[in-house]
């Protein structure tokens, strides 16, 4: 804002530092982490001053209504003079009569990271950045408005990006958050110079309705841990399953059957306070903080004596009004990790650890460490309130819940029984399953005896006569957790040991758990494909094995066009009818056939991206449930020099295929008038990609600018046919010339990739003559590939015809725009 060589000249000129306590303006050195500040300012008009540290000063905007977490709310932000870095700690009162006289509160502060070239954005009037504050988090943008003639002030708009930190309440920040993040004082206390209070509780006041209990998802027992990287594995906890509901009115802790055990789990009071949310429903397990002997007996002792407890969280079902249960397991896990990032390490609230892939190895290590077993979960599966094969449990030892139906008397003085008689529900009746006579301490034995209620008749009628003759029968309403080595030939437990009573489970629900067997598998070019018969495209009768064989068939051609480029994989491990998700980073457990490249992202951090170098890479990705391959416009050896330019012609819903064909030929002819030859790819959906191969002489910004300009010129020349804007309202009745595929990090569907759509269509390069006769962009399927491979690939000629966005081409585009 300042025009003087001294960026703080305006700031200093407006203030009398003999009267105001504001810091004198001096350009600072700054630190390794850039700071942002928001100060609530009750001047002549209440507003919020938003400041970003840049080049030794705080760039400043006055936000009249304050920032809003609602992406649909655009808040006016008037650019003001730059402020010194020291101003970021200022809180107090500016005297009346002085510039900005009034009370100032330090409302928020933290670090920030630019998402794009900040200097260029400042000049162009569009800034995108990520905030890491106590209140403002995630992606934000400042956009300069077009000024009126002779207007001296700069009007900008402060806008929240759509991400996990966005919410629908426009005033969610400014209503209720009325104390300083520095001193805990409100505006009145700051004005009166009252002493600083203790730092405010970092957890926000929970004002949303607390989520209702839902039935938890249960795991199916299997004999062996599943293999493959489409599974994550967690330790099987030996405690009480618990759902934590947070929201207005306080926390509630429910057992798996829906009992409210908040009072019984009172040792967890305050455990969830550090979480920054207004409401949540978290799935987890309650354990004793200190384990002596078995984990389950330690938990029962801790509950009896009021000892410390730990809540191990492993799933997030709801957050701030959003139902997450339809999201893939891995996405819910990531949202949970983000939520729990504010919880103190080693505290009573902890995130359960998990490992992706290597199931048998994880299981073996768990058993070696003395764990009960592991829980394996499909990373793509939604949350279902039932027992599901998407969650599988594998036990190191045989453990089972049984109903207590009676006991055998003891001949020893003072012992209430010698053993307990056990049963389970089978075929609509209780069936006898043997006895357990070890694992009891004297205190536990007395507690079990007091809990049993005598009855005259046996609850089950298949108890052997020699045992039934002396048995004392009890009401079948208690559940015992028992460990044993095996079932005998008669179906009775052998070498059983009592672990404890399960107060959280109903006797009527106790069933024996039989291990489930795995599906079939096959091998494609040396890559093992598990569950090869699993339907992926149900309407087309195509399985996971068919998908793998498709990529084996087209792999050589596909690698020639799409290889050595960062990928975004669209994965549907359970088929296209179930939830699918995009993956671009290597989050662990991905196959070795896929290569990795470190890419610096917009926030300045680096991440490992996946890319394919050979056919086996594609097959291995298919084993992971990958259906679609989306590629960057640059190759990994020179990532900052794109070699591919794409216009994705996306028709509005009311348009037909003929409109898309005509648009493709129009784009082709216009490019040709600029001296550029292009090719066509039908996408397998509704549109066509018009593309060309580039010499690597220009960077992303230049390629993007050319594509943007070209698309807007086309739209300007035929506004009734085309639009270059994503807005749905602008696309009505038009073809969207999508130029955004040419941004750094943007992707386009790879040639010969399957599409996750009914009928298993394939994105296929075609000649311009072929395009005239096609009946749609989804004309090709897997079955058509053998014939396509017999002919030359139309894209190969385009790939070999490298072209430059030369000064002559750009001049021609400029002339085209002016005519």
Task: Assign residue 326 the CATH number of its domain.
Answer: 3.30.470.30
Angle at 691 between CA 706 and CA 709, to 5 degrees: 20
> How does pLDDT run across 372-421, given as a tens digit for each residue?
788 999 998 899 988 888 898 888 777 788 999 999 998 888 888 999 99
Domain C-terminal end among 575, 610, 631: 631
Crossing angle (nearest 10°) for helices 807-818 and 700-717:
20
DSSP secondary structure string for all residues of 134-151: SS-EEEEEEEEPPPPTT-
415 & 366 share domain: no
CATH number of the domain where residue 487 is located: 2.40.50.140
- The answer to the question of residue 19 being in a domain is yes
The reported pLDDT for the residue numbered 200 is: 46
> In this structure, are 432 and 331 located in the same domain?
no
- pLDDT band for position 517 (50/70/90)? very low
Q: Are 524 and 552 in contact (CB under 8 A)?
A: yes
Q: Of the listed 128, 137, 182, 236, which one is catalytic?
A: 236
Count of CB atoms within 10 A of residue 416's CB?
Answer: 16
Q: For the chain, report the end-to-end CA distance as a whole number of angstroms.
A: 37
Residue 256's pLDDT is 86
Q: What is the pLDDT of residues 644-663, one digit of tens each?
A: 999 999 999 889 999 999 99
Q: Determine, yes or no, domain membership for 210.
A: no
Question: What pLDDT was estimated at residue 109?
Answer: 92
pLDDT at 482 over 70: yes
In this prediction, residue 293 has a pLDDT band, given cuts at 50, 70 and 90, of low
Domain contains 2 = no
**pLDDT exceeds 70 at position 3:** no
Q: Does residue 145 sit in the same domain as residue 83?
A: yes
Number of domains in the chain: 5
Higher pLDDT, 5 or 277: 277
pLDDT at position 488 is 66
Angle made by CA atoms 720, 722, 725, in degrees to the nearest 5: 115
The answer to whether position 49 is within a domain reads yes
Last residue of a domain, one of 359, 385, 411: 385
Q: Are residues 182 and 234 in the same domain?
A: no
55, 187: one domain: yes
Residue with structure tokens 């989306």?
Answer: 630
| pLDDT at res. 106 | 94
The pLDDT score that the predictor gives to residue 205 is 61
| 369 shares a domain with 262 | yes
Same domain, 40 and 173: yes
Same-domain check for residues 334 and 410 = no
Residue 79 burial (CB < 10 Å; 0-12/13-18/19+)? middle
How much is the pLDDT for 296? 76
Rounded to whole angstroms, how far apart are CA atoms 637 and 654? 42
343 vs 800 pLDDT, higher one: 800
Region 251-280: what's the mean pLDDT?
A: 85
Using the CB atoms, write b or e for 535-552: b if 16+ within 10 Å: bbbeebebbbbbbbbbbb
SS3 letters for 415-474?
CCCCEEEEEEEECCEEEEEEEECCCCCHHHHHHHHHHCCECCCCCCCCCCHHHHCCCEEE
Q: What local confidence, expressed as pLDDT, does residue 306 receive?
A: 63
**Mean per-residue pLDDT for 763-785?**
93
- pLDDT at position 201 is 47
Q: Which of 285-289, 618-622, 729-733 has the lowest mean pLDDT?
A: 729-733
Counting DSSP H helices and E strands in the chain, the numbers are 17, 43
What CA–CA distance (Å, rounded) separates 630 from 434? 58
Residues 747 and 661 in one domain: yes
pLDDT of 499:
85
Helix, strand, coil in percent for the chain, rounding step 5: 25, 30, 45
Higher pLDDT among residues 129 and 489, named by residue: 129
Last residue of some domain: 476, 509, 542? Answer: 509
Percent of the chain with pLDDT over 70: 95
346 and 243 share one domain: yes
Is residue 204 a part of any domain in this protein? no
pLDDT of residue 410: 87
Q: Does 637 fall in a domain?
A: no
Same domain? 610 vs 480? no
Task: Give pLDDT tens digits for 66-124.
Answer: 999 999 899 999 999 999 999 999 999 999 889 999 999 999 998 888 888 889 999 99
Q: Is it the case that residue 188 has pLDDT exceeding 50?
A: yes
Tell me which residue range forms the domain holding 146. 9-191
Compare 488 and 803 and report the one with higher pLDDT: 803
Q: What is the CATH number of the domain that holds 596?
A: 3.90.920.10
Instruction: State residue 201 phi and psi, 5-degree precision.
Output: -60, 125
pLDDT above 90 covers what percent of the chain? 48
Out of 323-337, 580-594, 681-695, give the one with best mean pLDDT: 681-695
Q: What is the pLDDT of residue 176?
A: 63
Asked if 279 and 244 touch (Cβ cutoff 8 Å), the reply is: no
Does residue 72 sit within a domain?
Answer: yes
198 domain residue, yes or no: no
**412 is a catalytic site residue:** no
Residue 138 exposed, middle or buried by CB count within 10 Å (0-12, 13-18, 19+): middle
- Name the average pLDDT for the chain: 87
- Other beta carbons within 10 Å of 486: 9
SS3 530: strand
Pair 572, 756: CB distance under 8 Å = yes
Q: Which of 733, 812, 706, 814 minimizes the C-alpha distance to 723? A: 733
d(Cα 455, Cα 477) in Å, to the nearest integer? 12
Q: Assess whether 670 and 813 both reside in one domain.
A: yes
């Amino acid at each position: 804002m300042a025009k003087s060589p001294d960026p703080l000249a305006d700031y200093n000129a407006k203030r009398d530092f003999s009267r105001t306590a504001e810091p004198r303006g001096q350009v600072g050195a700054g630190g390794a982490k850039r700071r942002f500040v928001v100060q609530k300012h009750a001047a002549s008009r209440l507003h919020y001053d938003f400041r970003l540290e840049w080049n030794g000063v705080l760039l400043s905007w006055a936000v009249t209504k304050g920032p809003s977490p609602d992406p649909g709310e655009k808040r006016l932000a008037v650019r003001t003079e730059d402020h010194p870095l020291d101003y970021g700690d200022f809180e107090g009162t500016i005297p009346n009569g002085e510039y900005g006289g009034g009370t100032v509160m330090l409302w928020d502060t933290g670090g920030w990271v630019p998402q794009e070239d900040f200097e260029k954005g400042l000049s162009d009037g569009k800034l995108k950045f990520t905030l890491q504050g106590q209140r403002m988090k995630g992606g934000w943008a400042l956009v300069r408005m077009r000024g009126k003639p002779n207007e001296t002030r700069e009007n900008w708009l402060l806008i929240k990006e759509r991400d996990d930190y966005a919410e629908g309440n426009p005033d969610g920040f400014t209503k209720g958050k009325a104390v300083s993040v520095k001193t805990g004082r409100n505006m009145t206390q700051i004005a009166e110079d009252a002493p600083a209070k203790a730092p405010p509780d970092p957890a926000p006041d929970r004002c949303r309705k607390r989520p209702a209990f839902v039935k938890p998802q249960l795991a199916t027992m299997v004999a062996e841990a599943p293999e493959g990287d489409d599974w994550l594995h967690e330790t099987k906890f030996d405690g009480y399953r618990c759902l934590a509901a947070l929201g207005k009115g306080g926390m509630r802790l429910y057992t798996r059957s829906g009992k409210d055990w908040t009072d019984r789990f009172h040792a967890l009071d305050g455990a969830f306070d550090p979480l920054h949310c207004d409401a949540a429903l978290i799935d987890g397990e309650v354990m004793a903080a200190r384990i002596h002997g078995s984990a389950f007996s330690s938990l029962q002792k801790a509950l009896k004596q009021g000892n410390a407890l730990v809540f191990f969280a492993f799933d997030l079902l709801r957050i701030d009004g959003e139902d997450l249960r339809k999201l893939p397991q891995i996405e819910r896990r990531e949202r949970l990790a983000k939520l729990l990032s504010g919880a103190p390490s080693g505290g009573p609230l902890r995130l359960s650890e998990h490992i992706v892939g290597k199931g048998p190895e994880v299981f073996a290590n768990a058993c070696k460490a003395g764990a009960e077993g592991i829980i394996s979960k499909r990373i793509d599966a939604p949350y279902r309130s039932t027992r599901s094969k998407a969650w599988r449990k594998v036990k190191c030892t045989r453990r089972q819940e049984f109903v207590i139906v009676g006991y055998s008397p003891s001949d020893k003085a003072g012992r209430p029984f010698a053993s307990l008689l056990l049963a389970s529900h089978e075929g609509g009746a209780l069936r006898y399953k043997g006895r357990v006579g070890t694992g009891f301490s004297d205190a536990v034995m007395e507690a079990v005896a007091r809990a049993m209620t005598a009855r005259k008749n046996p609850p089950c009628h298949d108890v052997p006569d020699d045992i039934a003759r002396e048995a004392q029968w009890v009401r079948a309403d208690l559940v015992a957790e028992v460990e044993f080595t095996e079932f005998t030939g008669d179906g009775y437990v052998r070498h059983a040991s009592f672990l404890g009573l399960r107060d959280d489970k109903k006797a009527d629900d106790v069933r024996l758990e039989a291990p489930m067997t795995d599906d079939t598998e096959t091998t494609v070019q040396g890559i093992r494909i598990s569950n090869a018969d699993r339907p992926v495209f149900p309407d087309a009768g195509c399985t996971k094995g068919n998908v793998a064989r498709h990529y084996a068939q087209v792999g050589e051609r596909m690698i020639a066009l799409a290889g050595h480029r960062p990928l975004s994989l669209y994965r549907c491990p359970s088929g296209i009818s179930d939830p699918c998700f995009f993956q671009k980073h290597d989050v662990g457990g991905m196959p070795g056939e896929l290569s990795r490249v470190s890419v610096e992202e917009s926030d300045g951090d680096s991440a490992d991206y996946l890319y394919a170098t050979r056919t086996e890479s594609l097959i291995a990705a298919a084993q992971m449930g990958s259906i679609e391959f989306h590629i960057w416009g640059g190759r990994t050896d020179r990532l900052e020099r794109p070699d591919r330019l794409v216009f994705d012609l996306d028709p509005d819903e009311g348009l037909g295929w003929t409109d898309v064909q005509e648009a493709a030929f129009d784009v082709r002819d216009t490019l040709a008038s600029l001296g550029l030859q292009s090719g066509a790819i039908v996408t397998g959906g509704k549109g066509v990609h018009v593309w060309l191969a580039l010499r690597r002489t220009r960077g992303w910004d230049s390629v993007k600018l050319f594509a943007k300009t070209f698309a807007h010129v086309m739209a300007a020349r035929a506004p009734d046919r085309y639009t270059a804007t994503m807005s749905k309202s602008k696309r009505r009745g038009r073809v969207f010339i999508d130029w955004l595929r040419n941004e750094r990090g943007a992707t386009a569907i790879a040639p010969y990739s399957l599409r996750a759509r009914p009928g298993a269509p394939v994105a296929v390069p075609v000649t311009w003559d072929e395009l005239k006769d096609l009946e749609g962009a989804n004309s090709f399927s897997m079955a058509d590939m053998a014939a396509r491979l017999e002919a030359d690939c139309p894209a190969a000629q385009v790939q070999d015809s490298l072209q430059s966005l030369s000064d002559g081409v750009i001049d021609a585009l400029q002339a085209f725009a002016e005519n």
